[in-house]
């Protein structure tokens, strides 16, 4: 039931609250009205040392009426003005809220009387009293009738007390104001809570506008404001995700430029080395071989520049598609030739390379990979060896065929690397590429030696 009420619309909640609050306040007013006599007794009784708030009938009024009546004559009729004037002191002994009327005992005809003085006074309270008397239709009247012995015989004396009427009017007004105030309290309390919720949403929106996308939008219930809060929270999450994605894109662009520079540097360096060999070597047969290798390296550089935009997949996962990498069946000879070529270049640059290639047949085992990406892997690894390896100790290169085509490289690290520029992009590129072709790579550096192992997945031909 509570869960259903939480999901109601604000308008429905407000109407339901008005109905419930109105019914409750009406019942409360009814209860207060039924308790009017108890309230009257409480406020007109001297329950403490202080005097009561409202007056009650005189306790000795009947004693005075009985004791003083023997000194006055009852008028023969209501037209006996002289006898009525003589009786006026007797009637005036009542207070402002008491009326005394005298009727004949045998004929029951009116003889004399005095209405409450509060009715004849000209002031605001008297007017309010008369209005209240009309509203209550004499509800507060307390009427007592008794035979009393006068000087010239017996007569009926009727005493009417209006003290309760003087209480009922303010009591009714106060009860009504209390119920109205309670009704308005319920409505205003509901409205104030919704206004506070709106204020919190405003603060959360301003906080989001200031750039704080980490703080979640606070809970705002299950109604329209709650739905608005939930949608704002979704918007915050989307903005945060877009902001982080934009930062990743900027970082990817920077890494793309760095990676392209890094990947082009290795073939250019090798190309330069080949050209220097051609320049210094007098043998024509060596010219032809190294010019062929130079042409091969220029083809690699052209292919790298043509596919420069595809390099973004290494850094931005959102650009990864099946078209980013062109998988093909590569024979083991491709890997053998690539390793031998890079090993030979290491030796030309002054390194002592210890090469061990075991059982790399041309068939029937092949590797499903991208030829250009594999070239990038070897370019990165051998480029790192040229930059960071110590030429005093041999570089160990091994290749073997088992469950995977495994290639391992191990070299001693230079003792002073402070003057060597490092982009830290080579291994990152290798790891991403190997992951995309289903292979794996692991590397280890203990401060003296660095080793890396590549595992290429095999594709068995039927």
Tokens at 137, concatenated: 């239709």
Cα 278 to Cα 290, 293, 352, 439: the distances in Å are 7, 11, 22, 38
Does residue 299 have a pLDDT over 90? no
pLDDT at 357: 82
Cα–Cα distance, 14 to 190 (Å, whole number): 8
Report pLDDT digits (tens) over 40-74: 777 776 554 445 556 667 777 888 889 888 989 99
Does residue 310 have a pLDDT over 60? no
Does residue 317 have a pLDDT over 70? no
Comparison of pLDDT for 295 and 411, the residue scoring more? 411
3-state secondary structure 308-323: HHHHHHHCCHHHCCCC
Cα–Cα distance, 409 to 399 (Å, whole number): 9
Comparison of pLDDT for 138 and 316, the residue scoring more? 138
Q: Measuring CA to CA, which residue among 300, 296, 316 is closest to residue 251?
A: 316
Does residue 150 have a pLDDT over 60? yes
pLDDT at 304: 67
Tokens at 205, concatenated: 């929106």
Q: Quick one: pLDDT band at residue 440, thresholds 50, 70, 90?
A: very high
Does residue 396 have a pLDDT over 80? yes
3-state helix, strand, coil in the chain (%, to 5): 55, 15, 25
Q: Quick one: pLDDT band at residue 318, thresholds 50, 70, 90?
A: very low
175 and 26 in contact (C-beta within 8 Å)? no
Tell me the torsion sign for CA atoms 124, 129, 135, 137: negative
Cα–Cα distance, 332 to 327 (Å, whole number): 15
Report pLDDT digits (tens) over 319-376: 444 446 788 888 888 898 899 988 988 888 889 989 888 666 655 788 888 888 898 8
Q: Measuring CA to CA, which residue among 244, 260, 236, 239 is closest to residue 317?
A: 244
The DSSP 8-state label assigned to residue 292 in this structure reads H
pLDDT at 268: 77
357 and 339 in contact (C-beta within 8 Å)? yes
How crowded is the C-beta side of 455, counted as CA atoms within 13 Å?
10
SS3 282: coil
The string of DSSP codes covering 308-366 is GGGGGGGT-GGG--TTTS--EEEEHHHHHHHHHHHHHHHHHTT--EEEEE----SSSEE
As a residue count, the chain comes to 462
Cα–Cα distance, 143 to 148 (Å, whole number): 16
Average pLDDT over residues 160-168: 78
pLDDT at 48: 46
pLDDT at 303: 65
User: Which residue is associated with the tokens 């043998």?
Assistant: 283
Tokens at 17, concatenated: 């609250």
Buried b (16+ CB within 10 A) or exposed e, 225-244: bbebbeebbeebeeeeeeee
pLDDT at 321: 43
Average pLDDT, the chain: 81
Comparison of pLDDT for 405 and 168, the residue scoring more? 405
Does residue 407 have a pLDDT over 90? yes
Q: Measuring CA to CA, which residue among 187, 185, 215, 189 is closest to residue 200?
A: 215
Cα–Cα distance, 260 to 275 (Å, whole number): 22
Cα–Cα distance, 404 to 360 (Å, whole number): 11
430 and 381 in contact (C-beta within 8 Å)? yes
Cis status of the peptide bond prior to 164, with omega within 30 of 0 = no
Interhelix angle 163-209/224-280, rounded to 10 degrees, is 10
Comparison of pLDDT for 176 and 256, the residue scoring more? 176
Q: Highest mean pLDDT range out of 5-9, 16-20, 208-212?
A: 16-20
Tokens at 400, concatenated: 């073997």
Tokens at 209, concatenated: 């506008």
pLDDT at 26: 94
pLDDT at 49: 41
Buried b (16+ CB within 10 A) or exposed e, 184-220: eebeeebeeebeebeebbeebeeebeeeebeeebeeb
Q: Quick one: pLDDT band at residue 172, thresholds 50, 70, 90?
A: confident
Does residue 401 have a pLDDT over 90? no
Cα–Cα distance, 315 to 429 (Å, whole number): 8
Tell me the torsion sign for CA atoms 133, 138, 142, 145: positive
The DSSP 8-state label assigned to residue 149 in this structure reads E
Comparison of pLDDT for 375 and 166, the residue scoring more? 375
Q: Quick one: pLDDT band at residue 25, thresholds 50, 70, 90?
A: very high
Report pLDDT digits (tens) over 230-288: 888 888 888 888 888 888 878 777 776 776 676 777 777 777 777 877 777 777 767 77
pLDDT at 164: 75
SS3 20: helix
Q: Quick one: pLDDT band at residue 420, thresholds 50, 70, 90?
A: low
Average pLDDT over residues 124-142: 69
- Parallel, antiparallel, or unpaired for β 353-357 and 395-401? parallel
411 and 396 in contact (C-beta within 8 Å)? yes
Question: Who's near 253: CB < 8 A, 6+ residues apart?
Answer: none
pLDDT at 320: 41
227 and 217 in contact (C-beta within 8 Å)? no
Q: Which range has the worst mean pLDDT, 77-86, 217-226, 284-293, 445-454?
A: 284-293
pLDDT at 246: 83
Q: What are φ and ψ of residue 455, in 5° steps?
A: -120, 110
């Amino acid at each position: 039931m509570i869960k259903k009420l939480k999901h109601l619309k604000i308008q429905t909640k407000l109407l339901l609250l008005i109905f419930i609050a109105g019914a409750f306040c009406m019942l409360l007013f009814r209860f207060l009205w039924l308790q009017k006599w108890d309230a009257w007794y409480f406020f007109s009784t001297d329950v403490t040392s202080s005097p009561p708030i409202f007056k009650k009938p005189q306790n000795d009024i009947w004693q005075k009426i009985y004791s003083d009546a023997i000194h006055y004559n009852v008028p023969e009729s209501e037209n006996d003005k002289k006898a009525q004037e003589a009786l006026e002191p007797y009637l005036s002994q009542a207070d402002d809220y008491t009326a005394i009327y005298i009727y004949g005992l045998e004929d029951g005809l009116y003889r004399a009387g005095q209405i409450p003085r509060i009715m004849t006074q000209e002031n605001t309270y008297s007017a309010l009293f008369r209005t209240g008397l009309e509203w209550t239709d004499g509800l507060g009247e307390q009427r007592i009738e008794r035979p009393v012995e006068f000087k010239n015989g017996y007569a009926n004396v009727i005493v009417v007390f209006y003290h309760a009427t003087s209480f009922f009017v303010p009591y009714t007004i106060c009860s009504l104001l209390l119920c109205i105030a309670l009704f308005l309290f319920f409505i205003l309390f509901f409205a104030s809570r919704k206004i506070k919720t709106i204020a919190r949403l405003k603060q959360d929106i301003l906080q989001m506008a200031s750039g704080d996308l980490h703080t979640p939008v606070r809970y705002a219930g299950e109604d329209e404001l709650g739905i608005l809060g939930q949608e704002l929270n979704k918007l915050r999450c989307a903005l945060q995700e877009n902001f982080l994605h934009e930062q990743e894109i900027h970082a990817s662009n920077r890494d793309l430029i760095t990676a392209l520079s890094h990947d082009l540097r290795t073939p250019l360096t090798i190309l330069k080395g080949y050209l220097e060999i051609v320049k210094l070597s007098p043998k024509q047969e060596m010219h032809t071989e190294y010019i062929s290798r130079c042409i091969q390296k220029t083809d690699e550089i052209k292919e790298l520049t043509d596919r420069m935009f595809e390099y973004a997949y290494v850094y931005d996962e959102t650009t990864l598609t099946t078209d980013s990498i062109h998988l093909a069946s590569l024979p083991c000879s491709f890997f053998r030739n690539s390793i031998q070529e890079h090993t030979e270049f290491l030796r030309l640059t002054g390194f002592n390379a210890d090469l061990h290639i075991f059982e790399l047949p041309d068939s029937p085992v092949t590797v499903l990979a991208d030829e250009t990406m594999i070239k990038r892997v070897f370019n990165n690894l051998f480029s790192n060896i040229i930059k960071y390896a110590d030429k005093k100790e041999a570089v160990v290169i091994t290749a073997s065929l088992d469950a995977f085509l495994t290639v391992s490289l191990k070299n001693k690290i230079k003792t002073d690397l402070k003057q060597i520029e490092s982009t830290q992009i080579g291994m990152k590129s290798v790891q991403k590429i190997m992951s995309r072709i289903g292979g794996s790579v692991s590397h280890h550096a203990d401060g003296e030696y660095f080793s890396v192992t590549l595992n290429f997945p095999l594709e068995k031909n039927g």
